[in-house]
Amino acid sequence: MDDIPGKITWNDCVTGSYRRLSVRLERSLGRVSPGQFVMVKIPDRDVFLRRPFSIYDSRGRTLTIVYRVVGKGTDALSAAARGTPLMVLGPLGRGFTPGKATTPIVVAGGIGYAGVRMLLKRLDHRATLFFGATGKDELRLAEDLGATRVLASTMDGSFGFAGDVVSLLGHHLDDYRDKKPEVFACGPSGMVRSLKALLEPGRIPCQVSVEERMACGMGLCFGCVVATADETNPYKRVCKEGPVFSLWDLSL
Amino acid sequence: MGSLAVELFGKTLKNPVMNASGTLGYGVEIEPLWAVETMGAYVTKGLSAAPHHGNPTPRVWEERCGMLNSIGLQNVGVERFFSHYFPFFVERRCPVVVNFFGFSEEEYLSCAKTIEPHDLIVALEMNLSCPNIKKGGISFGKEASAVHAIVRSVREVTKIPLIAKLTPEVKNLVEIARAAYEGGADGLTLINTIPAAVVDVKDRRVSLKGGLSGPLLKPIALRAVHECSQAVPIPIIGVGGITNAEDALAFLMAGARAVQVGCATFVDPFAMPKIIAGLDSWLDASGLAGISAIVGAAHG
């Protein structure tokens, strides 16, 4: 973990409100495990706290994130021009830990794709991505996956399966019955809840990346907790003990 | 070269900079970036006799010049802190200020009694902003008589120097400071966060009620330090919106013997080492023998 100065080299629209940002850092982030994140100091005086972003890609001294403009912080970030200096703290948190002898199923909803993209790259063609989007345009996010098998759903039915991504996965779950499936997920809380309902009967192993409002990003403030089934100490820090948790440890 | 060392309750701290309680976790979390013993002392997360789970989320909210928090005093409990985390500070020879709280007099007492004196424990810092459940939930720190009573009770059960951390949300803070001093406090920490709220206009509801901290607190805290440090003859630790060395100097000049840095660390995790280095450069340029020489320079 390090706090590294960098300069924006790319900050452009991917599709709709999704943007890709690349930063040339003074030093490399070092070893990154898929699912880890960074805290970015937004170059705007009105944005007090840093913002957490999944590491989309980290190669040498170039860090890439993909983000959706949803509020004050991301709005300000979207206005930052190439060459703008910013600070990046990371890599942070505990990422995904895929088993060696399992068949990986990756489930992403919308911007959740940014949270699993490094994992997909790491797993190469071994994984299948179930990608849930609102519409066809959002699928452009996952255009860079190469040989990885992608099954898509859209809520508006404009491409692939019409409906939500967990229902789509439900139609395919039987195919994995004797293949030791292991699920890796990142997406909105509704998606995670229905995923839990789907996987509950077989208690299929599932690691999920959780999102929460953060202040420090490194375990200092206890601001970003998630409720777990641990009765003696239910609230775990998303930034420190997470952001990836076993779905079966979470109390949803 | 002047010295940044300050005397606090008979102990020498290598510099006057500490973290504000609850803004540096259990201390170990900052280790990947810098060593805890860089600070004059580490202030623990608020500890209680029994562990506390804390509040559901959201617990934090950003404001333009600061943030609100409502963590709900989540902590592992005083016993677990001493068995699990304290040895780390002993190994590092890092002085510790033990912040603690209770929701009744009994809880304060039972927590304070648990803590054995140790050469690295500088003081106990009582959080007086907690609601007293037996008195209809009014905070201990709101009334001079209540402050006097709780400080006096705790004073009787521990030999460790006792700091009262005061809430600024009172009619007359100087009166409260005097009550804490007369109750037996050896020092004061000024100020705790200020009760505040955020309203989500889109959803037409309150997003979060919690304690406000950050740069916008600085002038409020400075006034509290300036006035209270001239009203009571005990050391004051100043806290509220300190972001850089100049802010820290302002607090020392206003009458603080030491300072605490809170959410500045969230914005820049190296804020404290930078403040310490900045104080050192300032001292060198000033030609003074020690940083203590400027404490209260802005009095009168």
What is the rounded CA–CA span in Å between residue B201 and residue B205?
7
Percent of chain B with pLDDT over 90: 94
Range from A123-132, A142-151, A156-165 carrying the lowest mean pLDDT: A142-151
What length is written for chain A? 252
**Cβ–Cβ of A3/B270 closer than 8 Å?**
yes
pLDDT, average across residues B128-141:
83
Per-residue pLDDT, B1: 66
Which structural domains are found in chain B, ordered by start? Answer: 6-55+71-194+214-294 (3.20.20.70)
Residue of B32, B74, B214 with shortest CB distance to A235: B74
pLDDT, average across residues A221-231:
96
Residue of A48, A219, A222 with shortest CB distance to B64: A48
Residue B133 has pLDDT above 80, yes or no: no
pLDDT, average across residues A228-237:
95
**Cβ–Cβ of A50/B267 closer than 8 Å?**
yes
**Cβ–Cβ of B23/A48 closer than 8 Å?**
no
Tokens of B136: 């209809």
**Cβ–Cβ of A220/B266 closer than 8 Å?**
yes
**Cβ–Cβ of B263/A215 closer than 8 Å?**
yes
B50 touches chain A (CB under 8 A): no
Phi-psi region of B230 (alpha: psi -120 to 50; beta: other; left: phi over 0): alpha
pLDDT, average across residues A35-56:
97
Per-residue pLDDT, A124: 86
**Cβ–Cβ of A41/B76 closer than 8 Å?**
no
B45 touches chain A (CB under 8 A): yes
Per-residue pLDDT, A144: 84
What is the rounded CA–CA span in Å between residue B180 and residue B148?
5
Residue B139 has pLDDT above 90, yes or no: no
pLDDT in tens, B238-251: 999 999 999 999 99
Q: Is residue B234 very low, low, confident or very high in pLDDT (cuts 50, 70, 90)?
A: very high
CA distance A183 to chain B (A): 26
Query: Residue B174's CB: how many other CB atoms inside 10 A?
Result: 15
Active site residues per annotation of B: 130
Q: Is residue A150 very low, low, confident or very high in pLDDT (cuts 50, 70, 90)?
A: very high
CA distance A220 to chain B (A): 4
- The interface residues of chain B toward chain A in range 124-143, judged by CB-CB distance below 8 A, are none
Which structural domains are found in chain A, ordered by start? Answer: 2-92 (2.40.30.10), 103-209 (3.40.50.80)
pLDDT in tens, B64-117: 889 999 999 999 999 999 999 999 999 999 999 999 999 999 999 999 999 999
pLDDT, average across residues A177-206:
96
**Cβ–Cβ of A222/B66 closer than 8 Å?**
no
In what order do the strands lie in the sheet containing B17-19? B17-19, B258-261, B236-239, B187-190, B162-166, B121-127, B96-100, B42-43
What is the rounded CA–CA span in Å between residue A156 and residue A108?
17
From chain B, pick out residues whose CB is under 8 angstroms from the CB of A219. Answer: 25, 29
Residue of A49, A87, A225 with shortest CB distance to B59: A225
Closest to B265 in 3D by CA, of B280, B243, B250: B243
Instruction: Quote the crossing angle between the two packed helices A165-172 and A189-199, to the nearest 10°.
Output: 20
pLDDT in tens, B116-130: 999 999 999 999 988
Residue of B25, B57, B66 with shortest CB distance to A212: B57
What is the rounded CA–CA span in Å between residue B209 and residue B126?
22
Query: Residue B57's CB: how many other CB atoms inside 10 A?
Result: 18
Per-residue pLDDT, A147: 79
Q: What is the interface size between A and B, counted as CB pairs within 8 Å? A: 98
Cis amide prior to B58 (ω within 30 degrees): yes
pLDDT, average across residues A200-206:
95
Percent of chain A with pLDDT over 90: 94
pLDDT in tens, B194-210: 999 999 999 999 999 99
pLDDT in tens, B154-164: 999 999 999 99
Residue B173 has pLDDT above 80, yes or no: yes
Cα-Cα end-to-end distance for chain B = 28
Per-residue pLDDT, B136: 77
Percent of chain A with pLDDT over 70: 100
**Cβ–Cβ of B60/A214 closer than 8 Å?**
yes
From chain B, pick out residues whose CB is under 8 angstroms from the CB of A242. Answer: none
B23 touches chain A (CB under 8 A): yes
Outline where chain B has alpha helix (H): 78-80, 86-92, 105-114, 144-157, 173-183, 218-231, 245-254, 264-267, 271-286
Select the residue from A235, A241, A251 to test the B interface by mutation, using most B Cβ atoms within 10 A. Answer: A235
B203-B137-B234 Cα angle (round to 5): 110
Per-residue pLDDT, B138: 81
pLDDT, average across residues A191-198:
97
pLDDT, average across residues A81-85:
97
Radius of gyration of chain B (CA): 18
Instruction: Quote the crossing angle between the two packed helices B218-231 and B245-254, to the nearest 10°.
Output: 30
